[in-house]
Structure 1
Amino acid sequence: MDQPHLHFTLEDLPVPMVYATHRIIRQVNTAFADLFGYLPDELTDRSFKILYPELSDFVMVGELWRSNFSGGRTYTDERIMAHRDGTHFWCRARGKSMIASDPFARALYCFDPIARPIDIQRQALTPRQTQILTLVAQGKTSTDIAGELGLSPRSIETHRYRLSRQLGLKNAAELVNWFATTKAASS
């Protein structure tokens, strides 16, 4: 017996979803708008940059996604975003491009809030440090990270070393443990 074919709109979905073209928000559901403290119509045709704590965060994430989102791949990361009231929060963003040759032309994204505190040490990190720390915590090697960011493996090693020193850690293993412990403590 054939099952009826169901059709859904973004609004029908219970998770925060957004459709965008070239990082301009075209359609959101209520769950997405609520997550950021807006009404859906207030986000339509606005740049994603209004949802980032700083313009540099918006630029950095765009560069990271451009290198990982091409070819029709799905990409996921964790980042700090900005609520309308000025507070910041962690979220996991997943995206899928609808056009393999132009990853930002038409894309669908899902945002999930993460119950992780924004601690002072993390806020003191530069956008590049946060980017590298996130990739290290995903288990990526310095060579992998260098390829994604267009830097040399030596540069990534230097960033990792400086991060360890800044946070008072002895080595990269403690850096990963610090990130995992901070993440687990907030869950």
Structure 2
Amino acid sequence: MQFSLAEIPVPMVFATHRIIRDCNEQFAALFGFARHELIDQSFSRLYPKLADFVRTGHMWRSNLQGGHVYYDERIMITAASLRFWCKVNGRSRNAADPFAEALYCFEPMNRAVTEASMTLTDRQRQVLTLVAQGKTNAAIAAEIGLSRRTVEAHRQRLIRATGARNSAELAAWFVASR
């Protein structure tokens, strides 16, 4: 049994080299576009900043290889310039080049984009997302290409910035803002 993207009831997109080649109406509606406005467009137009697009690409390239399923949580932007948190699951069809052909599912999250989350640096938001996934400093360092000590420093700055007392409270702060 096969299904087309149009038949799948959740926001889905098929991309080649981070260019949207096909998507369903649910995906387009999530971002406030008509479906035809997104076809053959770069995912970069759905990120608040080009740096977010680039950083996410580096992270996904190292984790999406070999047909693995990978996910993260990130801030995206709509056609009306509204920012929202989104969980993205993806799988590559090409083990050698994870962006050659990939399928992604986007799930909007009930987490406010708060002033506190916007005052964090891009790197801090990235580290915070991975901490909330329960990853260790060593795993985060390997995933985003930093040293373990740099990740520890980011984690400590996040704890101070959010008023948390430890990593568990930091993760709880992140989850509670859903």
TM range (shorter): over 0.9
> Deviation of residue 13 (structure 1)?
1.1
- Find the counterpart in structure 2 of residue 38 from structure 1: 33
Task: Give runs of ≥4 in structure 1 deviating > 6 Å.
Answer: none
> Counterparts of 1:150 and 1:99 in 2: how far apart (Å)?
23
81, 96, 108: which is aligned to 1:113? 108
TM superposition shift of 1:71 = 1.6
Aligned partner of 1:3 in structure 2 is none
Superposition deviation, residue 171 in structure 1? 2.8
Partner of 1:79: 74
Q: Which residue of 1 aligns with 2:99?
A: 104
CA contact (8 A) 1:24 1:47 kept: yes
| Correspondent of 2:23 among 10, 23, 28 | 28
Q: Matched residues in 2 for 1:114 and 1:170: separation?
A: 25
Q: Report the counterpart of residue 126 of structure 2 in structure 1.
A: 131
The sequence identity of aligned pairs, in percent, is: 54
How high is the TM-score relative to the length of structure 2? 0.96
Which 10-residue stretch deviates more, 61-70 or 101-110?
61-70
> Could you tell me how far apart the structure 1 residues matched to 2:2 and 2:59 are?
33
Cα displacement (A) at 1:182: 1.9
Say which SS state the counterpart of residue 109 (structure 1) adopts.
strand
Residue type at the aligned position of 2:78? H
Query: How far off is 1:44 after superposition?
Result: 0.7
Find 2:86's aligned residue among 83, 91, 94: 91
1:97-138 CA-to-partner distances (Å, cap 9, x unmatched) read 000110000000010111111111001111110110000000
Q: TM-score, normalised by structure 1?
A: 0.92
Q: Aligned equivalents of 1:50 and 1:164: distance in 2?
A: 31
Deviations 1:3-40 (A, max 9, x none): xxx33211111111100000001011111111111111
Within 1, Cα distance between the matches of 2:26 and 2:162? 36
Greater gyration radius:
1
Task: Give the alignment's Cα RMSD to 1 decimal.
Answer: 1.0
Q: Distance in 2 between matches of 1:21 and 1:44?
A: 11
